[in-house]
Protein backbone atom coordinates (compact mmCIF):
# COMPACT_ATOMS: atom_id res chain seq x y z
CA UNK A 1 0.00 0.00 0.00
CA UNK A 2 1.64 3.18 -1.16
CA UNK A 3 1.30 6.26 0.99
CA UNK A 4 2.33 9.78 0.07
CA UNK A 5 4.89 11.81 2.00
CA UNK A 6 2.73 13.11 4.86
CA UNK A 7 4.95 16.19 5.28
CA UNK A 8 3.66 17.64 2.00
CA UNK A 9 0.27 17.99 3.69
CA UNK A 10 1.77 20.56 6.08
CA UNK A 11 2.90 22.96 3.34
CA UNK A 12 1.28 26.39 3.24
CA UNK A 13 3.17 28.26 0.53
CA UNK A 14 2.23 27.81 -3.05
CA UNK A 15 -0.71 29.92 -1.96
CA UNK A 16 1.02 33.29 -2.45
CA UNK A 17 1.47 33.56 -6.23
CA UNK A 18 -1.70 31.64 -7.20
CA UNK A 19 -3.72 33.90 -4.90
CA UNK A 20 -2.14 37.01 -6.47
CA UNK A 21 -3.02 35.65 -9.92
CA UNK A 22 -6.58 34.82 -8.83
CA UNK A 23 -7.27 38.27 -7.36
CA UNK A 24 -5.68 39.97 -10.37
CA UNK A 25 -7.80 37.91 -12.79
CA UNK A 26 -10.97 38.72 -10.87
CA UNK A 27 -10.16 42.44 -10.91
CA UNK A 28 -9.36 42.37 -14.64
CA UNK A 29 -12.62 40.52 -15.41
CA UNK A 30 -14.60 43.16 -13.50
CA UNK A 31 -12.67 46.04 -15.13
CA UNK A 32 -11.84 44.89 -18.66
CA UNK A 33 -10.71 48.34 -19.83
CA UNK A 34 -8.17 48.89 -17.07
CA UNK A 35 -4.48 48.19 -17.73
CA UNK A 36 -3.09 46.35 -14.69
CA UNK A 37 0.58 47.15 -13.99
CA UNK A 38 2.92 44.69 -12.30
CA UNK A 39 5.52 45.44 -9.64
CA UNK A 40 5.16 41.96 -8.26
CA UNK A 41 7.43 39.76 -10.29
CA UNK A 42 10.72 38.33 -9.10
CA UNK A 43 11.74 37.54 -12.66
CA UNK A 44 14.08 39.31 -15.06
CA UNK A 45 12.60 40.98 -18.17
CA UNK A 46 15.50 42.30 -20.30
CA UNK A 47 17.11 40.23 -23.10
CA UNK A 48 20.43 38.41 -22.75
CA UNK A 49 23.45 40.52 -23.65
CA UNK A 50 25.36 40.10 -26.96
CA UNK A 51 28.42 38.29 -25.61
CA UNK A 52 26.23 35.85 -23.69
CA UNK A 53 24.17 35.14 -26.81
CA UNK A 54 27.47 34.54 -28.66
CA UNK A 55 28.57 32.14 -25.89
CA UNK A 56 25.33 30.18 -26.11
CA UNK A 57 25.74 30.00 -29.91
CA UNK A 58 29.28 28.64 -29.42
CA UNK A 59 27.81 25.94 -27.20
CA UNK A 60 25.31 24.99 -29.89
CA UNK A 61 27.96 24.99 -32.65
CA UNK A 62 30.16 22.61 -30.67
CA UNK A 63 27.30 20.14 -30.62
CA UNK A 64 26.96 20.39 -34.42
CA UNK A 65 30.44 19.04 -35.12
CA UNK A 66 31.63 15.48 -34.44
CA UNK A 67 35.07 16.81 -33.40
CA UNK A 68 33.69 19.03 -30.61
CA UNK A 69 30.48 17.18 -29.70
CA UNK A 70 30.12 16.26 -26.02
CA UNK A 71 27.47 14.22 -24.26
CA UNK A 72 27.28 13.90 -20.49
CA UNK A 73 29.69 16.20 -18.74
CA UNK A 74 30.95 16.06 -15.16
CA UNK A 75 28.06 16.28 -12.68
CA UNK A 76 30.04 18.99 -10.87
CA UNK A 77 30.32 21.18 -13.97
CA UNK A 78 32.73 22.06 -16.73
CA UNK A 79 36.29 22.58 -15.40
CA UNK A 80 36.76 25.90 -17.15
CA UNK A 81 33.57 27.28 -15.61
CA UNK A 82 34.50 26.05 -12.11
CA UNK A 83 37.88 27.74 -12.53
CA UNK A 84 36.27 30.97 -13.72
CA UNK A 85 33.95 30.97 -10.69
CA UNK A 86 36.87 30.31 -8.32
CA UNK A 87 38.60 33.25 -10.01
CA UNK A 88 35.60 35.46 -9.23
CA UNK A 89 36.00 34.66 -5.53
CA UNK A 90 39.71 35.51 -5.80
CA UNK A 91 38.53 38.95 -6.90
CA UNK A 92 36.76 39.25 -3.52
CA UNK A 93 40.03 38.37 -1.79
CA UNK A 94 38.77 34.86 -1.03
CA UNK A 95 40.50 31.57 -1.82
CA UNK A 96 38.11 28.98 -3.25
CA UNK A 97 39.46 25.93 -5.07
CA UNK A 98 37.77 25.08 -8.39
CA UNK A 99 36.78 21.67 -7.00
CA UNK A 100 34.92 23.41 -4.16
CA UNK A 101 32.58 24.92 -6.79
CA UNK A 102 29.63 22.77 -7.92
CA UNK A 103 27.85 24.05 -11.03
CA UNK A 104 24.10 23.43 -11.06
CA UNK A 105 20.88 24.30 -12.85
CA UNK A 106 20.13 27.08 -10.37
CA UNK A 107 20.13 28.35 -6.82
CA UNK A 108 16.55 27.32 -6.13
CA UNK A 109 17.20 23.60 -6.64
CA UNK A 110 20.48 23.80 -4.69
CA UNK A 111 18.87 25.66 -1.79
CA UNK A 112 16.09 23.06 -1.71
CA UNK A 113 18.43 20.05 -2.03
CA UNK A 114 21.26 21.05 0.30
CA UNK A 115 19.29 20.11 3.43
CA UNK A 116 19.33 16.44 2.33
CA UNK A 117 22.99 16.00 3.33
CA UNK A 118 22.29 17.07 6.92
CA UNK A 119 20.69 15.11 9.75
CA UNK A 120 16.90 14.82 9.81
CA UNK A 121 17.11 15.99 13.43
CA UNK A 122 18.73 19.32 12.53
CA UNK A 123 17.10 22.38 14.03
CA UNK A 124 16.64 24.95 11.26
CA UNK A 125 16.68 28.75 11.57
CA UNK A 126 15.43 31.09 8.86
CA UNK A 127 15.15 34.82 8.45
CA UNK A 128 11.54 35.93 8.87
CA UNK A 129 10.42 36.91 6.23
CA UNK A 130 12.33 34.59 3.84
CA UNK A 131 12.45 33.13 0.34
CA UNK A 132 9.94 30.26 0.77
CA UNK A 133 12.18 27.46 -0.53
CA UNK A 134 14.29 27.27 2.66
CA UNK A 135 11.23 26.64 4.80
CA UNK A 136 9.33 24.36 2.43
CA UNK A 137 12.27 22.07 1.62
CA UNK A 138 12.72 21.45 5.34
CA UNK A 139 8.99 20.95 5.88
CA UNK A 140 9.00 18.28 3.16
CA UNK A 141 12.03 16.62 4.75
CA UNK A 142 10.14 16.40 8.05
CA UNK A 143 12.25 18.85 10.07
CA UNK A 144 9.23 20.83 11.29
CA UNK A 145 6.00 20.12 13.08
CA UNK A 146 2.59 21.30 11.98
CA UNK A 147 1.57 24.76 10.80
CA UNK A 148 0.03 26.50 13.77
CA UNK A 149 -0.91 30.14 14.32
CA UNK A 150 0.85 31.25 11.14
CA UNK A 151 4.14 29.43 11.69
CA UNK A 152 5.70 25.97 11.61
CA UNK A 153 6.33 24.32 14.93
CA UNK A 154 9.95 23.38 15.47
CA UNK A 155 11.33 25.99 13.05
CA UNK A 156 13.32 28.91 14.46
CA UNK A 157 12.19 32.23 12.98
CA UNK A 158 14.76 35.04 13.19
CA UNK A 159 12.72 38.26 13.06
CA UNK A 160 13.80 40.84 10.48
CA UNK A 161 12.36 44.20 11.49
CA UNK A 162 12.97 47.87 10.89
CA UNK A 163 14.65 47.96 14.33
CA UNK A 164 17.40 45.55 13.20
CA UNK A 165 17.48 46.92 9.61
CA UNK A 166 15.98 43.57 8.53
CA UNK A 167 19.17 41.63 9.35
CA UNK A 168 18.58 39.48 12.44
CA UNK A 169 20.87 38.68 15.35
CA UNK A 170 21.99 35.04 15.59
CA UNK A 171 19.51 32.87 17.54
CA UNK A 172 19.67 32.85 21.33
CA UNK A 173 19.42 29.06 21.62
CA UNK A 174 21.26 26.33 19.71
CA UNK A 175 20.30 25.67 16.11
CA UNK A 176 22.06 23.53 13.51
CA UNK A 177 21.32 24.95 10.05
CA UNK A 178 20.99 28.70 9.44
CA UNK A 179 19.70 30.06 6.13
CA UNK A 180 20.83 33.59 5.32
CA UNK A 181 20.06 35.49 2.12
CA UNK A 182 21.90 38.75 1.36
CA UNK A 183 21.03 40.92 -0.53
CA UNK A 184 17.69 39.73 0.71
CA UNK A 185 14.59 38.65 -1.12
CA UNK A 186 12.05 40.00 -0.09
CA UNK A 187 13.34 42.85 2.14
CA UNK A 188 16.17 44.19 -0.03
CA UNK A 189 18.36 44.36 3.10
CA UNK A 190 22.09 43.64 2.84
CA UNK A 191 24.14 42.25 5.72
CA UNK A 192 27.34 44.11 6.60
CA UNK A 193 30.58 42.48 7.73
CA UNK A 194 29.88 42.81 11.45
CA UNK A 195 26.45 41.21 11.10
CA UNK A 196 27.84 38.27 9.12
CA UNK A 197 30.78 37.94 11.52
CA UNK A 198 28.28 37.50 14.39
CA UNK A 199 26.69 34.56 12.52
CA UNK A 200 30.09 33.04 11.71
CA UNK A 201 31.09 33.28 15.39
CA UNK A 202 27.76 31.70 16.40
CA UNK A 203 28.11 28.87 13.88
CA UNK A 204 31.67 28.08 14.95
CA UNK A 205 30.70 28.09 18.62
CA UNK A 206 27.70 25.77 18.09
CA UNK A 207 29.18 23.71 15.21
CA UNK A 208 26.26 24.90 13.10
CA UNK A 209 26.30 25.41 9.32
CA UNK A 210 25.35 28.64 7.53
CA UNK A 211 23.66 28.18 4.16
CA UNK A 212 24.27 31.52 2.46
CA UNK A 213 22.25 32.55 -0.61
CA UNK A 214 24.07 35.24 -2.60
CA UNK A 215 21.86 35.16 -5.71
CA UNK A 216 21.68 38.98 -5.69
CA UNK A 217 25.38 39.69 -4.98
CA UNK A 218 25.74 41.48 -8.34
CA UNK A 219 23.28 44.13 -7.10
CA UNK A 220 25.63 45.36 -4.37
CA UNK A 221 27.21 48.65 -5.39
CA UNK A 222 28.47 49.76 -1.96
CA UNK A 223 32.13 48.62 -1.89
CA UNK A 224 32.15 47.99 1.88
CA UNK A 225 29.35 45.41 1.77
CA UNK A 226 30.42 41.75 1.46
CA UNK A 227 29.42 39.93 -1.74
CA UNK A 228 30.22 36.51 -0.31
CA UNK A 229 30.04 34.96 3.17
CA UNK A 230 33.62 33.79 2.56
CA UNK A 231 34.82 37.39 2.88
CA UNK A 232 34.30 36.85 6.63
CA UNK A 233 37.21 35.25 8.51
CA UNK A 234 36.36 31.74 9.65
CA UNK A 235 33.45 31.28 7.22
CA UNK A 236 35.28 28.54 5.31
CA UNK A 237 34.96 26.40 8.44
CA UNK A 238 31.19 26.87 8.96
CA UNK A 239 29.46 28.09 5.79
CA UNK A 240 28.52 27.08 2.29
CA UNK A 241 27.26 29.46 -0.38
CA UNK A 242 24.62 29.08 -3.07
CA UNK A 243 24.46 31.47 -6.00
CA UNK A 244 23.13 31.93 -9.50
CA UNK A 245 23.43 33.54 -12.92
CA UNK A 246 19.66 34.17 -12.88
CA UNK A 247 19.48 37.71 -11.53
CA UNK A 248 23.00 38.75 -12.50
CA UNK A 249 22.67 37.91 -16.20
CA UNK A 250 18.98 37.28 -16.88
CA UNK A 251 19.37 33.47 -16.72
CA UNK A 252 16.05 32.79 -14.95
CA UNK A 253 14.83 30.81 -17.97
CA UNK A 254 18.27 29.68 -19.17
CA UNK A 255 19.05 27.97 -15.80
CA UNK A 256 22.56 28.05 -14.31
CA UNK A 257 23.82 28.39 -10.75
CA UNK A 258 26.52 27.09 -8.46
CA UNK A 259 27.27 26.17 -4.88
CA UNK A 260 30.55 26.57 -3.04
CA UNK A 261 31.13 23.87 -0.44
CA UNK A 262 34.59 24.34 1.11
CA UNK A 263 36.63 21.28 1.99
CA UNK A 264 37.38 23.00 5.30
CA UNK A 265 33.68 23.08 6.26
CA UNK A 266 32.98 20.95 9.33
CA UNK A 267 30.05 20.41 11.66
CA UNK A 268 28.98 18.18 14.55
CA UNK A 269 30.26 14.68 13.83
CA UNK A 270 31.74 15.61 10.42
CA UNK A 271 35.46 16.25 10.05
CA UNK A 272 36.63 18.79 7.43
CA UNK A 273 36.05 17.33 3.96
CA UNK A 274 32.95 15.31 4.80
CA UNK A 275 30.29 17.90 3.93
CA UNK A 276 32.11 18.58 0.64
CA UNK A 277 32.18 14.83 -0.05
CA UNK A 278 28.50 14.41 0.74
CA UNK A 279 27.41 17.23 -1.57
CA UNK A 280 29.59 15.73 -4.30
CA UNK A 281 27.95 12.35 -3.68
CA UNK A 282 24.48 13.87 -3.69
CA UNK A 283 25.05 15.70 -6.97
CA UNK A 284 26.74 12.72 -8.65
CA UNK A 285 23.80 10.53 -7.62
CA UNK A 286 20.82 12.79 -8.23
CA UNK A 287 21.99 15.32 -10.83
CA UNK A 288 23.49 14.82 -14.27
CA UNK A 289 25.17 18.19 -14.74
CA UNK A 290 24.01 21.53 -16.12
CA UNK A 291 23.45 21.83 -19.88
CA UNK A 292 26.72 22.07 -21.81
CA UNK A 293 25.25 24.81 -24.04
CA UNK A 294 24.21 26.83 -20.99
CA UNK A 295 27.62 26.44 -19.33
CA UNK A 296 29.17 28.09 -22.41
CA UNK A 297 26.78 30.96 -21.77
CA UNK A 298 27.93 31.07 -18.13
CA UNK A 299 31.56 31.31 -19.22
CA UNK A 300 30.59 34.22 -21.46
CA UNK A 301 28.91 35.98 -18.49
CA UNK A 302 32.20 35.71 -16.56
CA UNK A 303 34.31 37.12 -19.42
CA UNK A 304 35.33 40.80 -19.08
CA UNK A 305 32.87 41.81 -21.81
CA UNK A 306 30.11 39.70 -20.25
CA UNK A 307 30.75 41.32 -16.88
CA UNK A 308 30.49 44.81 -18.38
CA UNK A 309 27.24 43.89 -20.07
CA UNK A 310 25.69 42.33 -16.98
CA UNK A 311 26.73 45.34 -14.90
CA UNK A 312 24.74 47.47 -17.37
CA UNK A 313 21.72 45.18 -17.01
CA UNK A 314 21.93 45.33 -13.22
CA UNK A 315 22.24 49.15 -13.42
CA UNK A 316 19.08 49.23 -15.54
CA UNK A 317 17.09 47.35 -12.89
CA UNK A 318 18.63 49.43 -10.11
CA UNK A 319 17.48 52.61 -11.85
CA UNK A 320 13.98 51.09 -11.66
CA UNK A 321 14.51 50.44 -7.95
CA UNK A 322 15.36 54.13 -7.48
CA UNK A 323 12.24 55.15 -9.40
CA UNK A 324 10.12 53.04 -7.05
CA UNK A 325 11.88 54.03 -3.84
CA UNK A 326 11.98 57.77 -4.56
CA UNK A 327 8.47 57.78 -6.01
CA UNK A 328 6.98 56.21 -2.92
CA UNK A 329 9.02 58.30 -0.50
CA UNK A 330 7.80 61.42 -2.31
CA UNK A 331 4.22 60.64 -1.22
CA UNK A 332 5.26 59.93 2.36
CA UNK A 333 5.40 56.12 2.30
CA UNK A 334 8.02 54.33 4.41
CA UNK A 335 10.21 52.06 2.31
CA UNK A 336 13.34 49.99 2.88
CA UNK A 337 15.78 48.20 0.55
CA UNK A 338 16.11 49.13 -3.11
CA UNK A 339 19.66 50.49 -2.79
CA UNK A 340 21.87 47.39 -3.11
CA UNK A 341 19.04 45.02 -4.05
CA UNK A 342 16.29 44.98 -6.69
CA UNK A 343 13.47 44.85 -4.12
CA UNK A 344 11.76 47.69 -2.29
CA UNK A 345 10.17 46.64 1.00
CA UNK A 346 7.36 48.96 1.88
CA UNK A 347 5.62 49.36 5.18
CA UNK A 348 1.88 49.35 4.47
CA UNK A 349 0.27 52.71 5.26
CA UNK A 350 -1.80 52.94 8.44
CA UNK A 351 -0.74 49.49 9.62
CA UNK A 352 -2.86 47.73 6.99
CA UNK A 353 -2.61 43.97 6.62
CA UNK A 354 -0.49 42.99 3.60
CA UNK A 355 -3.42 41.42 1.69
CA UNK A 356 -5.74 44.37 2.42
CA UNK A 357 -3.11 46.66 0.96
CA UNK A 358 -2.78 44.36 -2.05
CA UNK A 359 -6.50 44.88 -2.78
CA UNK A 360 -6.29 48.64 -2.17
CA UNK A 361 -3.28 49.08 -4.47
CA UNK A 362 -4.93 47.01 -7.20
CA UNK A 363 -8.30 48.76 -6.94
CA UNK A 364 -7.05 52.33 -6.64
CA UNK A 365 -3.75 52.37 -8.59
CA UNK A 366 -4.19 49.22 -10.73
CA UNK A 367 -0.79 48.01 -9.56
CA UNK A 368 0.03 44.44 -8.48
CA UNK A 369 2.68 43.84 -5.84
CA UNK A 370 3.51 41.00 -3.46
CA UNK A 371 2.05 40.85 0.07
CA UNK A 372 4.87 40.60 2.62
CA UNK A 373 2.92 38.13 4.73
CA UNK A 374 3.45 35.54 1.96
CA UNK A 375 7.13 35.34 3.00
CA UNK A 376 6.49 34.52 6.66
CA UNK A 377 4.73 35.94 9.71
CA UNK A 378 7.34 38.73 9.98
CA UNK A 379 6.25 40.05 6.57
CA UNK A 380 2.77 41.01 7.78
CA UNK A 381 2.20 44.74 7.38
CA UNK A 382 4.78 44.92 4.56
CA UNK A 383 4.66 44.76 0.80
CA UNK A 384 7.33 43.83 -1.76
CA UNK A 385 7.78 45.87 -4.93
CA UNK A 386 10.13 44.48 -7.56
CA UNK A 387 12.48 46.49 -9.79
CA UNK A 388 12.39 43.79 -12.49
CA UNK A 389 10.45 45.18 -15.44
CA UNK A 390 10.75 47.58 -18.35
CA UNK A 391 11.62 51.09 -17.13
CA UNK A 392 8.60 52.67 -18.84
CA UNK A 393 6.22 50.20 -17.17
CA UNK A 394 7.80 50.76 -13.76
CA UNK A 395 7.55 54.53 -14.26
CA UNK A 396 3.87 54.28 -15.24
CA UNK A 397 3.08 52.12 -12.18
CA UNK A 398 4.80 54.55 -9.81
CA UNK A 399 3.02 57.52 -11.38
CA UNK A 400 -0.31 55.75 -10.99
CA UNK A 401 0.44 55.06 -7.30
CA UNK A 402 1.33 58.73 -6.79
CA UNK A 403 -1.83 59.96 -8.51
CA UNK A 404 -4.39 57.39 -7.44
CA UNK A 405 -3.51 55.72 -4.15
CA UNK A 406 -5.67 57.28 -1.41
CA UNK A 407 -3.50 57.87 1.64
C1 LIG B 1 15.68 34.31 -7.72
C2 LIG B 1 16.32 33.72 -6.51
C3 LIG B 1 17.21 32.67 -6.63
C4 LIG B 1 17.62 32.16 -7.99
O5 LIG B 1 17.16 30.90 -8.25
P6 LIG B 1 17.54 30.17 -9.62
O7 LIG B 1 17.03 28.79 -9.39
O8 LIG B 1 19.01 30.22 -9.75
O9 LIG B 1 16.83 30.89 -10.73
C10 LIG B 1 17.79 32.15 -5.49
N11 LIG B 1 17.52 32.67 -4.28
C12 LIG B 1 16.69 33.70 -4.13
C13 LIG B 1 16.46 34.26 -2.79
C14 LIG B 1 16.05 34.24 -5.24
O15 LIG B 1 15.21 35.27 -5.09
Q: Which atom of ligand 1 is nearest to the CA of 184?
A: 13
The b-or-e profile of 230-244 (16+ CB within 10 A means b, else e) is bbbeebbbbbbbbbb
- pLDDT at residue 40, rounded to an integer: 86
Which of 168, 129, 135 has its CA nearest to residue 152?
A: 135
In a domain, 386, yes or no: yes
Select from 285, 302, 319 the last residue of a domain.
302
Model pLDDT for residues 75-131, shown as the tens digit of each residue: 999 999 999 999 999 999 999 999 999 999 999 999 999 999 999 999 999 999 999
**What is the 3-state secondary structure of 23-45?**
HHHHHHHHCCCCCCEECCCCCCC
Span 336-388, pLDDT tens digits: 999 999 999 999 999 999 999 999 999 999 999 999 999 999 999 999 999 99
Residue 385 sits in the same domain as residue 256: no
Task: Name the closest-CA residue to atom 11, ligand 1.
Answer: 215
- Shared domain for 282 and 366, answered yes or no, is no
Mutation pick for ligand 1 pocket among 215, 317, 376 (CB with most ligand atoms within 8 Å)? 215
Residues 62 and 41 in one domain: no
The answer to whether residue 275 scores a pLDDT higher than 90 is: yes
Residue-averaged pLDDT of the chain: 97
Report residue 13's pLDDT band, with 50, 70 and 90 as the boundaries: low
Would 2 be classed as within a structural domain? no
User: What mean pLDDT is predicted for residues 17-28?
Assistant: 95
pLDDT digits (tens, 9 = 90+) for 28-74: 999 999 999 999 888 999 999 999 999 999 999 999 999 999 999 99
Q: Which residue segment(s) compose the domain that 93 sits in?
A: 52-302
251 and 339 fall within a common domain: no
The atom number, within ligand 1, closest to the CA of 213 reads 11
Q: What's the CA-to-centroid distance between 50 and ligand 1, angstroms?
A: 23
Give me the count of residues in the chain: 407
How would you class 68 by CB atoms within 10 Å of its CB: exposed for 0-12, middle for 13-18, buried for 19 or more? exposed
pLDDT recorded at residue 41: 82
Q: List, for residues 313-349, the tens digit of each pLDDT value.
A: 999 999 999 999 999 999 999 999 999 999 999 999 9
Closest CA to 40 of 15, 13, 21: 21
pLDDT at 391 over 80: yes
Residues 6+ apart with CB under 8 A from 240: 114, 209, 210, 211, 212, 259, 260, 261, 262, 265, 275, 279
4 in a domain, yes or no? no
Report residue 230's pLDDT band, with 50, 70 and 90 as the boundaries.
very high
With a 6 Å cutoff on the Cβ, whether 106 touches ligand 1 is yes
Q: Say which CATH number the domain at 335 has.
A: 3.90.1150.10
Q: Nearest 5°: CA angle at 34, between 32 and 40?
A: 110
**Residues 191-225: tens digit of each pLDDT:** 999 999 999 999 999 999 999 999 999 999 999 99
Give the whole-number percent of the chain exceeding pLDDT 90. Answer: 97
Q: Is residue 262 domain-shared with residue 275, that is, in the same domain?
A: yes
Q: Are both 315 and 298 inside the same structural domain?
A: no
On the question of pLDDT at 14 being above 80, the answer is: no
Sign of CA dihedral 157, 162, 167, 169: negative
Answer yes or no: do 15 and 155 share one domain. Answer: no
Residue at which a domain ends, from 302, 317, 346 = 302
27 CA to centre of own chain: 30
Number of domains present in the structure of the chain: 2
How many CB atoms lie under 10 A from the CB of residue 361? 26
Q: Where is the domain boundary, 302, 323, 349?
A: 302
Amino acid sequence: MAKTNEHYDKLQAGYLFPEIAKRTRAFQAAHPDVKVMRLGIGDTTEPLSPSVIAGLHRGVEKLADVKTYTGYGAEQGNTELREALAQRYRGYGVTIEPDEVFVSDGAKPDSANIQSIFSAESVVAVQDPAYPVYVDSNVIAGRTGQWKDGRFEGLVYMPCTAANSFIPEPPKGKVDLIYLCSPNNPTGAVANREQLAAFVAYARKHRAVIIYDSAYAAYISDPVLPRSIFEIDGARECALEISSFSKEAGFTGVRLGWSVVPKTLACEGAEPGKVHRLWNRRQATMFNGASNVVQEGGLAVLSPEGQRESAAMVAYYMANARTIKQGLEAIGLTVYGGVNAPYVWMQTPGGMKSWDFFDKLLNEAHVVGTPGSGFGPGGEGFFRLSAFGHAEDIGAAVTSIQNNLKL
